[in-house]
Amino acid sequence: MKYKDYYATLGVKRDAAPEDIKRAYRKLARKYHPDVSKEKGAEEKFKEVGEAYEVLQDKEKRAAYDQLGHYTPGQDFRPPPDWARQHGNSRGGFSNGPETDFSDLFEGLFGGNRPGGARGARGRGFSMPGSDYEAAVTITLEQAEAGAEVSFDLPRGNATVPLKVRIPKGITDGEKMRVPGKGGEGAGGGPAGSLFLAIRFAPHRWFQPRGHDLYLDLPVAPWEAALGGAAEVPTLGGRVRVKIPAGAAPGQQLRLAGKGLPKRDGTRGDQYCTLQIVVPPALSPREIELYEDLQKTSDFNPRSRFSE
């Protein structure tokens, strides 16, 4: 009989994992399906792909196939002695002459084929889901906070398809969102694939999102940090006043509970205001005088740890 290299037919390595074999089969079956492909010889290629998958997707059949050895495609060969008996040939033997069909060998050993396999693939009743697509979309923090409908063009081959997708509340930066039915068309009446959207947040002039929490740099004057006070800060829901504790340190964070991004369970993240102490860029003569008085009066040494 003539040897067929099923691994080469599917374009996978001989040690390919089952999921890689399935992925390769789906890609080729979709490419050569008689209801879809316009390529010359597509139907015959479709049958070959189905036959290869029927054997390699089955653990028992694949093991039997691998024990036949590795030959050049089309090369005449004979199965090893007792090979058919070891792998369940209910007929008690096979003619190993060159007239024996390779696929008939497996059909005789293992019985009927599954739909979509070597025999089932030869009919037109085959169906397969469409491919999944991936795309990226950028939204604003305000859109993430309220939920929004976004429009964008999805590349498909040499063209683009306009799409509108609803982005729900609770989405986070970098999250992947599945949109069923917006992927590639299915073959043979199969369902369309899904679109997986990678969500990106556009840079904001004030906030840095981390999950559902928001971070804001809050500038404070030296005397506010020393004496304490209050400051008005922006949030996604409007401005609020926060208390600055006396003796505040640079980098200290003030937490505003529930002022972050919404979550799917109806709660919200928090907003953190990170204190940044800012010295005036220019000092008036009176300000200089006051700073000099403070310098003479205070015994505070910010570098005291260097003398330890």
What pLDDT score was predicted for residue 131?
77
Beta strands in the chain (DSSP E): 133-139, 148-156, 159-167, 176-179, 195-201, 207-210, 213-220, 229-235, 238-244, 253-256, 271-277
What pLDDT score was predicted for residue 113?
45
From the CB of residue 208, how many other CB atoms can be counted at a distance below 10 Å? Answer: 16
Mean predicted confidence (pLDDT) in 98-112: 53
Could you tell me the two tokens for 156? Answer: 């498909």
The proportion of the chain whose per-residue pLDDT surpasses 70, expressed as a percent, equals: 81
What pLDDT score was predicted for residue 78?
67
* Protein fold of 133-201: HSP40/DNAj peptide-binding domain (2.60.260)
How remote is the C-alpha of 271 from its chain's centroid? 28
Query: How long is the chain?
Result: 308
Contact call for residues 188 and 127 (beta carbons, < 8 A): yes
Task: Tell me how far apart the alpha carbons of residues 15 and 231 are, in angstroms, rounded to a whole number.
Answer: 65
Q: What is the pLDDT of residues 263-284, one digit of tens each?
A: 999 999 999 999 999 998 888 9
Q: What are the start and end residues of each CATH 1.10.287.110 domain in the chain?
A: 6-122
**Residue scoring higher pLDDT (126 or 278):** 278
Task: Tell me how far apart the alpha carbons of residues 55 and 129 are, in angstroms, rounded to a whole number.
Answer: 21
Mean predicted confidence (pLDDT) in 132-151: 91
What pLDDT score was predicted for residue 190?
75
Q: What is the CA radius of gyration of the chain?
A: 34
Q: What are the start and end residues of each CATH 2.60.260.20 domain in the chain?
A: 133-201, 207-297
What CATH number belongs to 207-297? 2.60.260.20
Contact call for residues 139 and 167 (beta carbons, < 8 A): yes
Please choose, from the candidates 225, 211, 236, the residue with its C-alpha nearest in 3D space to the C-alpha of residue 274: 225
**Residue scoring higher pLDDT (4 or 37):** 4
Mean predicted confidence (pLDDT) in 102-118: 50
From the CB of residue 275, how many other CB atoms can be counted at a distance below 10 Å? Answer: 21
Q: What is the DSSP letter of 113?
A: P
**Residue that is written with structure tokens 């490419």 in the block:** 31
Q: For helices 102-110 and 59-67, what crossing angle results, to 10°? A: 130
Contact call for residues 14 and 71 (beta carbons, < 8 A): no
Task: Tell me how far apart the alpha carbons of residues 2 and 68 are, in angstroms, rounded to a whole number.
Answer: 12
Give the alpha-carbon dihedral of 83, 85, 88, 92, to 10 degrees.
Answer: 130
What pLDDT score was predicted for residue 117?
44
Sign of CA dihedral 54, 57, 63, 65: positive
6-122 CATH, one of 3.90.380.10, 1.10.287.110, 3.40.710.10, 1.10.287.1080? 1.10.287.110
Q: What is the pLDDT of residues 215-248, one digit of tens each?
A: 999 999 999 999 999 999 999 999 999 999 999 9
* Half-sphere CA count of 15, side-chain side, radius 13 A: 0
Task: Tell me how far apart the alpha carbons of residues 93 and 84 are, in angstroms, rounded to a whole number.
Answer: 6
